Structure 1
Amino acid sequence: MFPLWAFEKQLVDLGLATWCSAPYFVRMLIALEIAIGITILQKHHLKKIVIPTAIFLLIIFSIHLAIEMYRHGALNGNCGCFGQLIDMSPLAAFIKNMIMLGLLIYLYRIIPAEEKGKQKSICLILILFSSLLFMFILFPFSPCRQKINLEETVIKVDSAQSKQPSSTSSEAAADIGKKTTQNKSVVSEPKKVTSRFAGYSTFGNKQVNLDEGKKIICLFAAGCDHCREAAKEIYSLSKKDNFPEVYILFMDEETNLISDFFKETGGTFPYRVVDVSKFWQAMGESGNTPGVFFLWNGNIIKFYEGVGNNKFSPEGLKKASESRDN
């Protein structure tokens, strides 16, 4: 289930939590799993509480996996059992759960009945409390803040199909219709709009208006390998003349890895750290890291997200950024 932000996003996507409750829910759930893993090695209330709780959780997870396999296919996607550390299909996770259920039922049947008066509940309470402290102290997070407004114009300047995070304005799209001059595609400058990124005006000591002119906005997690690869390619593109300014919004998790992120990238960009809930709200409901937005006067001209069909394309970004005014 690590990194935690990946598990949090999965719960939100499934509708099981909101961005405000997901950080708490994830840490409590993992703490419970850690506690079960430890308490199954001791003798107190093993048959009465520990094993039944473990069986109950496995049944719940297995029902969820069965629903996901029915809806999306047995081999599609990552179940999230190990976060992004180990990819496991829903079918593989379901088989794993069935094996573990069998072992737990076998263990339940062979262990002797518990003797009354010799079971100490305080042992279970201390283990659970310690697990909760471990998760909340080792993985701190910022409390949920007010939700930002995601309504803005999204337009495309080429014929490539890409997944957009919000609806297209026909009026704005008409303003940047393609024109042909001397056999070259020339794109007129779109009118200025207020984007979802307008509130991010400070990057370090630099004041910037992200809705002014052409800007590249990257939404990255410092520990995300795909984000680092995208950053390398963007840094390479940024060395060319007239490439738009690049700004990074880092998710407020694994921020201790930001320096390593830039070392691997080979260069730095202005950046700021953003609350996890606001990060995903800015990305869009269906988006995933790495997220790359090409803005022109606040209009979203190009949007890349995740590692699927709409993953980041250096060639596509280069083509979009080279669009010229009349």
Structure 2
Amino acid sequence: MSTNNNHKYIVWGIRIFVAALFVLSAVAKLWPSPTLGIGTFEAKYLGGMGIEGTFAKVLSRLLIGLEFTLAVLLLLPFYLKKVVIPATIGLLGVFSIHLLIQVASGESGNCGCFGELIPMSPLQSVIKNIIAIGLLILPLTKFKDGLEDKKNLNPILLIGLSVALLMFVLIPQGGNSTETETVEIEKGGESEFEVYFEDIAQGNKLLCFFSPTCEHCMATGKALTELKKKYPGLIPEIRILFMDEVGNGSEEEVAKFFEFIGAEYTYKVLSVEEFIPIFFAEYNFPGVKYLYNGEERIFFEGIEDNEFDADKLLEEIKREY
């Protein structure tokens, strides 16, 4: 009896651990906001696999819904041996095959398994999946006497359909991709950004790519404002492209951003779908481009090797004087 109880505790520990992994994976793909998170997942990771447009929108929501569904079902006692655990092992196996292909091709960047919240290389994610698969095999073999299993298919179907439906209700797909396509068509002039700011190719300008609630973006915006105050007439006019991370125009967020940095500049707010292809698919916030007659002279992005450097920017600006 004591051994059986121990096995039950072990099995429960495995189920809770793997369920938590799936919840973390699903939530991470919606970080820091559902619109931004899922848009990034679609553009950077599904787009990188050649999956785009409406199919990417549908697939992203189904994958996240499936992760939530499996997490819930792992904690319920229905068809664990024949359906839930084997399906979970199978899904992890499919993901691992894809990740091994990435490892074999030499890819070492973030695989997107935990979105942008927890960057993981394909190899790290494979190891994580192998550990999870190994743990899930134990309740089907060594500790099968500690696994409660009821044969009722209705809860599985109900939870699966409900979660899938919720993904589409709570995370609307938004507009189609015509806005992004229009931007691509209009590129190729003196500056690809003239579609947003008509004067961007006239003289010298600073073009910033910000998310209005990003702390690093706010710090960079404040640093630029301080530069303009310290070197009046030297620092170029600032133009800002904001990403609409909340999906409603981000008016309140943008107002708070300008209040924090102590100045207001000409700006445009772009939908996640339009913003990602022109910046966030390849670069990280914050982004600052110094343009001279539409030509890029220096570009800062992210918070690591190429982060914003006021001294480097000043040095580059002074070259034109």
In structure 1, the residue corresponding to 2:307 is in which secondary structure?
coil
Residue 200 (structure 1) aligned to one of 183, 186, 196: 196
Partner of 1:168: none
The equivalent of 1:26 in structure 2 is 60
Shift of 1:101: 0.7
User: Which deviations, in whole Å up to 9, do the C-alpha atoms of 1:15-43 show, x marking residues without a partner?
Assistant: 24225543433222111100111112223
Q: Name the counterpart of 1:241.
A: 232
2: CA distance, partners of 1:133 / 1:257: 29
CA distance in 2, matches of 1:114, 1:284: 46
| Paired residue secondary structure (2:297) | strand
Contact 1:2 1:82 in 2 (8 A): no
Distance 1:22 1:228 in 2: 31
Q: Distance in 1 between matches of 2:53 and 2:243?
A: 13
Measure the CA separation in 2 of the matches of 1:61 and 1:257: 37
- CA distance in structure 2 between the partners assigned to 1:322 and 1:19 by the alignment: 43
Counterpart in 2 of 1:299? 295
Structure-2 separation of matches of 1:85 and 1:209: 36
1: distance between equivalents of 2:216 and 2:53? 23
User: Partners in 2 of 1:215 and 1:141 — Cα distance?
Assistant: 34
Aligned partner of 2:317: which letter?
Answer: S
TM norm structure 1: 0.70
Match of 2:113 in 1: 81
- Using the TM superposition, give the Cα deviation of residue 263 of structure 1 relative to its aligned residue in structure 2, in angstroms: 5.0
Match of 1:220 among 186, 189, 210: 210
Residue 129, structure 1, aligned to residue 161, structure 2: yes
Structure 1 pair 271–91 and aligned structure 2 pair: CA distance change class (3 A): same
Deviations 1:279-313 (A, max 9, x none): 12322863333322222333333333334544333
- Could you say which residue in structure 1 is the equivalent of 2:102? 68
Secondary structure of 2:206's match? Answer: strand
Alignment match, 2:71: 37
Equivalent of 2:45 in 11, 15, 40: 11
Local SS of the residue matching 2:49: coil
Residue of structure 1 equivalent to 2:199: 209
Structure 2: give runs of 5+ residues left out of the alignment: 1-28, 32-36
Gap change, CA 1:294 and 1:285, over 3 Å in 2:
same
Residues 148-227 of structure 1 mapped to structure 2, 5 A cutoff: 148-149=183-184, 193-201=189-197, 209-227=199-217
The structure where helix makes up a greater share of residues is: 2
Q: 2-side partners of 1:142 and 1:44: how far apart?
A: 36
TM-score with structure 2 setting the length:
0.71
Secondary structure at the aligned position of 2:126 is classed as: helix
CA shift, 1:151, in A, is: 7.8
- 1:229 and 2:219 correspond: yes
Deviations 1:174-209 (A, max 9, x none): xxxxxxxxxxxxxxxxxxx531111114xxxxxx53
One-letter amino acid of the counterpart of residue 107, structure 1? P
Instruction: State how far apart, in whole Å, the 2-side matches of 1:72 and 1:237 are.
Output: 42
Asked if the contact 2:243–2:275 (Cα under 8 Å) also holds between the matched residues in 1, the reply is yes
Per the alignment, do residues 60 and 269 of structure 1 end up closer, same or farther by CA in structure 2, a change over 3 Å counting? farther
- Amino-acid identity (%): 35
* Preserved contact between residue 44 and residue 120 of structure 1 (Cα < 8 Å): yes
Q: Which amino acid aligns with 1:62?
A: S
Unaligned runs of 5+ residues in structure 1 are: 154-192, 202-207
Return the alpha-carbon distance in structure 1 between the equivalents of residues 308 and 159 of structure 2.
44
Secondary structure of 1:272 counterpart: strand
The range that moved more, 270-279 or 254-263, is: 254-263
Of 282, 295, 312 in structure 1, the residue corresponding to residue 308 of structure 2 is: 312
Query: Partner letter of residue 239 of structure 2?
Result: Y
Quote how far apart the aligned CAs of 1:274 are. Answer: 0.9
- Which residue, 38, 59, 79 being the options, matches 2:93? 59
Matches of 1:238 and 1:213, distance apart in 2 = 17
Question: What is the CA deviation profile of residues 77-110 of structure 1, one whole-angstrom value per residue up to 9, with x for unaligned ones?
Answer: 4343332323444444333212211122222342
**C-alpha distance in 1 between matches for 2:298 and 2:129:** 41
